[in-house]
Amino acid sequence: QSVLTQPPSVSGAPGQRVTISCAGSTSNIGTGYDVHWYQQLPGAAPKLLISGNIHRPSGVPDRFSGSRSGTSASLAITGLQAEDGADYYCQSYDSSLSAVVFGGGTKLTVL
């Protein structure tokens, strides 16, 4: 059971917009700890997609955007492309555990 809760799967057709939610609590996201997002392609290491809730590292398309509100965060992907099919993970810090915490991951299927 992950500290941060994500939907196991989401799907969308090419060109569509999808969002992935990340639900936390008052000991992590709700306290104000930043949320980060990673993309993991099959057989590969995770890749940083969004840092500090909203910031895209160099090279990440602006089709990807992040937001945070209250005890949750979201990743939005617009103009879905086949290559976006991957697992996505949110990550933050939990003060009760004194540890970095990850979501359970969401598998994005591009139909």
The residues that touch other proteins, with contacts defined as CB under 8 A, are 2, 33-36, 38, 44-48, 51-52, 57, 89, 91-93, 97-105
- Looking at the Cβ atoms of 2 and 11, the one nearer to other proteins is 2
Residue 79 per-residue DSSP state: S
> Of the two residues 13 and 59, which places its CB atom closer to other proteins in the complex?
59
Structure tokens belonging to residue 31: 């306290």
Question: What does the alpha-carbon distance between residue 102 and residue 94 come to, in Å, rounded to a whole number?
Answer: 10
In angstroms, give the least distance from the CB of 77 to other proteins. 19
**Position 54, amino acid:** I
CB 18 within 8 A of CB 77: yes
Closer CB to other proteins, residue 80 or residue 103?
A: 103
